Amino acid sequence: MGPKPSLRLVRQGIEIVVLALTVASFSGCSPHPNTASPAVQQQTAANATPWWKHALIYEIYPRSFQDTNGDGVGDINGIIQRLDYLQGMGVNAIWLTPIYPSPLADFGYDISNYEAIDPLYGSMADFDRLVADAKSHHIRVIMDMVLNHTSDQSPWFIESRSSRNNPKRDWYIWRNGKGPGIPPNNWQSDFGHSAWTYDATTKQWYYHKFYAAQPDLNWHNPEVQKAMFDACRFWLDRGVAGFRLDAIPELFEDPTFQDEKILPGKNAFGDPNEDQSRTENLPEVHEVMRQLRKLVDSYPGDRVLIGETYLSNIQEQLMWYGKNNDELQLPMDMQVGFINKLDVDQFRTRINEAETGLNGNMPLFVFDNHDNERSWDRYGDGKHNAAIARIVATLLLTTRATAMTYYGQEIGMVTTPPKTRAEVQDPVGKIGWPKDKGRDGERTPMQWDTSKNAGFSTAVKTWLPIPPSYKTVNIQVESGQPDSLLNWYKQLIALHKNNPAIHDGQNIMVDASDPNVLSYLRKNPGVGPSVLVAMNFTSKPHTVAYALQTQGIQGSTATALLEDDGMSKTVDLNHVMLPPFAVFIGAVQ
């Protein structure tokens, strides 16, 4: 599974060595004067607490959300059609994976024009209508921005590859090979095998961290930075609330182009395992982040920068906020959501680090996205998946972090990988089959109801098959079941928004040596009750005795804020009995 070597790095606990290289200077990229329309300015009136601080951000994979023209692929009008649903759920912002014109070698992560909409998803007028309609639903729109690479069909790359002295040659990374048929160095693509592809026209190799159809831009070239910042301005001017920055630690490469170090073992593609310190997390990226932050800050309304940052420890995480908190507001924290097993100690440590180790910055927790097997399967034990999904939801929505969720997570959608190689759509699955079946399994169409194609599309054939689970796992059915996962999410989202302790209280681990039950106290920042959250991570019942006096809690009981299976409304703090995989969320004072 998972295409992310960076994620694999996290799993293997390998420290990324940051090379001390000089920071390139970037001229010609000063922030644009504020050109936002009056409507946008109005939308974003100054606010003491920026909106994203306690937001619920919902990732939409547009191909799979809602199809309105019957071609089997989701579209912008489909998202518009589902805004009522999103508003009802309490979503504050949607992040759309790329909808720019693209040959779709990597389903939109190969962009050929940064300032247009792919007709497959609709028109620019549709997009503008989405931003406006979303606004009237109190929902902001966040675009995916792929700065690291373009499509090989981008006019920039077509020019670049045309001759060695083309003005755009240096927009990409071209090198001589070490000899006939031998690439410049041992660097590997995240999608398997060499990261270099030979181009016969000019007899040089170009570098691509991802698929060969995704050539990396040369960020040492100021013209590249200017072109990409112009693209960002284009969307900021149209009223987007910010960007999710794709593969952002991969922006720079070590200019010495020396080989990567080889670590023991093989990677998922059967290639040698490289430490990637020459192609990820180079220090130059931080200067670009500071410039980009200046750009978004020159617009009103707290525009936000979110980073796709798979990092291995909290110190690295902290760096992405910037030494002076002048880089990303929300680098994704993948260290909590991708622990990938219900290990109390690890969750306690990682949540606590996010609470205390980020210099007061806001963590952004993510458990699901379009690149990884769904949390239902990563955390589920095959028997108690439904109860475990409630724990995952609780972890996401009762800590202090900003929450990011992925369509379908709220109903417990299951990873449904292709059955044969012929069915595979994702390039990763094509290269990695059968060991790595790629990412189609977590990108299947949204399950809305029990009708044909789960209400996603009227097409005869949808771009990915509808998972068989749709008859019972869908929005319609779960809306009508008081104890469904969907209703659990809705209740948690309401607490996340409205309960002062859960909204913004300090997060303090309690009963902190318990190996079976994860417990924390969310302290009311003002007067009023605090909230105790307790989750039994095991398949056996456990009883906990809480001593909360040192935390200023004098009462001896807790009152449940949500209906919990098999638990009474009021519990004695000296004797809290938690059935297998139970969650208790209760007010204490």
C-alpha triplet 89, 95, 97: angle, nearest 5°:
130
At position 284, the amino acid (one-letter code) is E
Is 109 a binder of ligand GLC (CB under 6 A)?
yes
Is 367 a binder of ligand GLC (CB under 6 A)?
no
Place of tokens 């507001």: 329
When CB distances are held under 5 to 8 angstroms depending on the partner's kind, the choice from ligand GLC, Ca ion, none that residue 216 binds is: Ca ion
Q: 483, exposed or middle or buried, with CB in 10 Å at 0-12, 13-18, 19+?
A: exposed
Residue 404: closest CA among 347, 351, 363: 363
When CB distances are held under 5 to 8 angstroms depending on the partner's kind, the choice from ligand GLC, Ca ion, none that residue 371 binds is: ligand GLC
Is 371 a binder of Ca ion (CB under 5 A)?
no
Does residue 407 contact residue 369 with C-beta atoms inside 8 Å? no
CA distances from 268 to 39, 189, 191, 318, 436 (A): 49, 12, 9, 29, 7
Is 216 a binder of Ca ion (CB under 5 A)?
yes
Is 368 a binder of ligand GLC (CB under 6 A)?
no
DSSP E strands, 212-283: 242-245, 262-266, 272-274
Is 442 a binder of ligand GLC (CB under 6 A)?
no
Give, as ranges, the residues between 43 and 82 that touch ligand GLC (CB under 6 A): none
* Active-site annotation holder among 144, 284, 308, 316: 308
Q: How many residues bind Ca ion (CB under 5 A)?
A: 3
Say if residue 434 is preceded by a cis peptide, omega within 30 of 0: yes
71 is catalytic: no
> How far is the C-alpha of 306 from the C-alpha of 320, rounded, in Å?
10
* Beta bridge pairs of residue 523: 506
Is 373 a binder of ligand GLC (CB under 6 A)?
no
Site string for ligand GLC, 221-250 (x = CB under 6 A): -------------------------xx---
Is 147 a binder of ligand GLC (CB under 6 A)?
no
When CB distances are held under 5 to 8 angstroms depending on the partner's kind, the choice from ligand GLC, Ca ion, none that residue 250 binds is: Ca ion
Q: Which two tokens stand for residue 242?
A: 């910010």
Among 9, 104, 134, 146, binds ligand GLC (CB under 6 A): 146
Nearest residue relative to Ca ion (C-beta): 216
Q: Which is nearer to ligand GLC, 380 or 438 (CB)?
A: 438
Is 368 a binder of Ca ion (CB under 5 A)?
no
Sheet arrangement for strand 570-572: 506-509, 517-523, 530-536, 583-588, 557-560, 570-572
* Active-site annotation holder among 246, 260, 274, 302: 246
Residues sharing a CB contact under 8 Å with residue 494, sequence separation 6 or more, in sequence order: 90
Site string for ligand GLC, 305-324 (x = CB under 6 A): ---x----------------
**Nearest distance from residue 207's CB to Ca ion, in Å?**
7
Is 295 a binder of ligand GLC (CB under 6 A)?
no
Place of tokens 């990597």: 106
Give, as ranges, the residues between 18 and 47 that touch ligand GLC (CB under 6 A): none
Site string for Ca ion, 129-158 (x = CB under 5 A): -------------------x----------
Q: Which is nearer to ligand GLC, 317 or 507 (CB)?
A: 317
Helix H or strand E encompassing 494: helix 485-498
128 is catalytic: no
Nearest residue relative to ligand GLC (C-beta): 109
Q: Which is nearer to ligand GLC, 247 or 544 (CB)?
A: 247
Q: Which is nearer to Ca ion, 250 or 426 (CB)?
A: 250
Is 280 a binder of Ca ion (CB under 5 A)?
no
Q: Which is nearer to ligand GLC, 246 or 368 (CB)?
A: 246
CA dihedral 188→192→196→199, nearest 10 degrees, is 180
| C-alpha 499 chain-centroid distance | 25
Alpha helices in 329-426 (DSSP H): 334-337, 344-356, 375-379, 385-398
- In a 13 Å sphere around the CA of 386, the CA atoms on its Cβ side amount to 10
Q: Which is nearer to Ca ion, 72 or 183 (CB)?
A: 183
Is 250 a binder of Ca ion (CB under 5 A)?
yes
Active centre residues (catalytic): 246, 308
Residues near Ca ion (CB under 5 A): 148, 216, 250
Q: Which residues bind ligand GLC (CB under 6 A)?
A: 106, 109, 146, 210, 246-247, 308, 370-371
